[in-house]
Structure 1
Amino acid sequence: MNHEYLTVTSLNQYIHKKFEKDPYLTKVYVTGELSNWRKRPGHQYFVIKDDKSVLSAVMWKGAFNKVKFEPEEGMKVLITGRVSTFEKSGQYQIYVESMEPDGVGNLYLAYEQLKKKLFSEGLFAPEHKQLIPKYPKKIAVVTSQSGAVIRDIIDAVRKRDNHIQVVLFPAAVQGDGAATEIAQQIEAVNQRSDFDTLIIGRGGGSIEDLWPFNEEIVARAIYNSRVPVISSVGHQTDNTIADLVADVRASTPTQAGVISSPVLSDLIVSLNNANNIMNNSIRNLIRTNQQKLEQLKRSYVFQDPKRLYESYQQQLDILTEKVQVGFKTIINQDVNRFEVLKSNLIAESPKNQIKSNQKQLEYLNTNLINAIKIIHKQKNDKLANEIAALDHLSPLKIMSRGYSLVKDSQGNLIKSVDQVSNKEEIKVDLSDGSIAANITKINQKKV
């Protein structure tokens, strides 16, 4: 019986095509718990499981970027996707197209997760809130150019102070890409230095409509804004992440315009009141100083100015006299001290010391000369004795009595006939000279 054997690759390809063509597997809805979850920077690979089974899952990067919440290990989720195989291993798996939390809204969960994250980082902390300027010149508004928000803000500001300039920075406030536009416009406002206040907002709507203001990119743009931010998103009952991060939250766009601008008429009244208070204070100060001036004019200082310095003149005379007396006392003390030092110096004059030292020097010089003479005589006597003793022991003295010294040609003293040979030249030293001779005969004593 003949069989046609398939390769592993062919079999896997066949099974893969079966899965791809099965209409029941092109769109499936699965619920289960996330397992082996570890968020990766690109595509996600994980497992869906229940009490009895597990299912491998793959979610491509583009699909995962649309997930609004942060998946966690063990979280129960609702998944939509298609089932197919991975040809290389033959393993079947679900390719996830969308994912939502089971039992709680996707956007609500994402909202709570981001809220918790930003709170832990301190983005909602009161110490980071900036004060809204009381008297702005220019207000920036980031919102849709076609909505009613910008008109409500402009109307509210102009009713209070029509000198304030309101500038629109248009941005989409709902839909894909809206969060990025809003963040970019907030940054654009901060790149300029002529805005005092920034208002962001939109009208009411569902959580999906308001979602761009719950995005992390918008929250961080508000937090990093150097221009104080007023958030006016939705209605009073709506609470967005932008409201929590902003420096001030307004319930409506109109209220945002009210918060950002003073009432010009109230300001004028306040300035007039302040002006009146200042004028009254100046008049009272002038009146008080005029009274003080009149009192000073009537004082003895202005009536008889000499009396002002009479006591000082007398005090100057007293001090001058004390200074003169003090100088005289110091001079007398110095003169007396000088005389004492002069007497001591005369008594300790070096002349007497010099004379005494000269006498001592003469005495020592005489003793030195005498000592030298005695030593010289002793040395001469000793030298004469040593010369006499040396002369007595001198070989010349002995040689003068007929003795001589016989030496060979090298100058060695000859003491025995064994040291010479016939015809050898020798030298004979006498007391008055020397003789050169040759040996002609050697006679040796017999023992």
Structure 2
Amino acid sequence: MHKEGDFLAEEKKYLTISQLNHYVGLKFSKDPYLRQVMVVGEISNFRLRPSHQYFSLKDENAEVSVTMFRNDFARVNFQPENGMKVLVIGDVGLYEGRGQYQIRLTHMEPLGIGALYQAFQQLQTKLNQEGLFNPAYKKPLVRYPKRIAVITSPSGAVIRDIITTVKRRYPIVQLVLFPAVVQGQNAAASLVGRLKEVNARGDFDTIIIGRGGGSLEDLWPFNEEAVAREIFASQIPIISSVGHETDTTLSDLVADVRAATPTAAAELATPVLAEEIMRIQQAQLRLQQAVRNTLAAKQQIYQRLMQSYVFTNPLRIYERQIQQVDFLKQNLQQIFGTGLQNRRAWVDNLSQRLQNQSPLTRIHQGQTNIANLQTRLQMAQKRKIEISQANWQRQIGRLDAVSPLKVMQRGYAYVQKKGQVVHSVAELEVGSQVALQLADGSAQAKITEIKGE
């Protein structure tokens, strides 16, 4: 039989549940292979909680509990759902209270998104280094477009939003839809083909390319390198409207302008017609006012000039000179007498030349020249009319000479049978009634004999 002391000694060799779990927890925490473990699995038992998240990851054969604390879950940029496959990174540990091992997650992303996002970042870096995103290559939009090409799905809400907005803002522009596949394996080739087609036509002012919202996989055709390079190569300005405002694709970065929504794209592509008409009317009013002000200022200058001394009394300009000439003449006569007649004639000549320079003399001379030119013009017009009338009479004479009536006046006639002109004796029969058309009338006759040549 065991004594009571022996039972107490043996009891000290047993571990409590807490001690066991704590020991196993230390093993988990000290194992370097259980830190930052990368696991792929399917979400199960997920229910969104206000703080920390507790759910499970499973595959076909097993399941593990996971925990994600509030700070780590705040960095997740998608909404987890049951059945969603995810890629997770975390530390494996033991929840000692239940003796259950679990993964404390520090990162989680949907399966497949990671590879696409990495490809997106790599291609974005490559195109950026080549300068495809450089603002210097961005083409300005045409302010008043006549034709806009829309490359999108014909059945989506994008084209309806664009049509509605354009009709409201700028109904005089022509919208042309180029239907394209915007999702799936054939989407990139379809988009590139439509871009080439629009640029080859060359009769569009703006291109709008885009689609509605969706997942990264749905929007991926607009991240294809071929589509981005074709947008960059376009000679026509392009507005990109892909997904929602929070979505950003390589097409948005390469395009000349990015719009958050299809409605915003239509607003960027077109002005408001009513506002433009009002702006034109205001400019017209300003121009009219400026012209009126200019004319008024010029009219004032004209009135001042017409009221000036030069125009009101043009002869007064020469009065002083004439008086001076007369004074000199008198002085010459008094000093030199009759022996200076030649000098006086010279002075008279200067006086006459001075008078000839008067504006009135030039005006009279100009009026005489105008009258002579008018006379010459009238004579030339009369001569032209006479020549035209003579030519007309000659043409009438020529037409009259070849007139069939002239021929008939020389004794010729033509024969009609039952209202039809007879061209040959083969059309006649003995006894036939015919009508003879002469220059001054007609006569009825009967065929009594037919002779051929």
Q: TM-score if structure 2 supplies the norm length?
A: 0.45
Q: TM-score if structure 1 supplies the norm length?
A: 0.45
From the CA coordinates, give the structure whose radius of gyration is larger.
1
